Amino acid sequence: MFSIFSSSAAMYIDPAATTYIIQIGAAAVIAIGTFVGIYWSKVKRAFKKKEEEVEALDASEVNNLHDGEKDVITAADLMDDDN
């Protein structure tokens, strides 16, 4: 009869240990998800067509695109308004 109680006592898991085990499991799931997400985006990027690089437009070029209306206000424009 004593051997039954000793074997069941050896199977006891403390609630704090259970919480720790849950945290380890959650960390593993998050780490695996992060790993898969990072490498999945790299795989997609490798197979994606290389898009053309677009040159940046100057402020005057942007303003010339729209019927003389100013879309881009530069520091020089603000300084001119003060005079």
Q: What does the pLDDT read at residue 22? A: 94
In angstroms, the CA 66 to CA 50 distance is 30
Q: What does the pLDDT read at residue 29? A: 97
Q: 59 and 72 in contact (C-beta within 8 Å)? A: yes
User: Residue 74 CB: number of other CB atoms within 10 A?
Assistant: 13
In angstroms, the CA 66 to CA 83 distance is 26
pLDDT at 1 over 50: no
Quote the DSSP letter at residue 72. Answer: -
For residue range 19-68, list pLDDT tens digits in order: 999 999 999 999 999 999 999 888 888 777 666 566 776 767 766 666 66
| Positive/negative CA dihedral, 10, 12, 14, 18 | positive
What tokens appear for 38 in the block?
């990072």
Q: Which of 14-18, 59-63, 76-80 has the highest mean pLDDT?
A: 14-18
pLDDT at 3 over 60: no
pTM: 0.43
Q: What does the pLDDT read at residue 56? A: 72
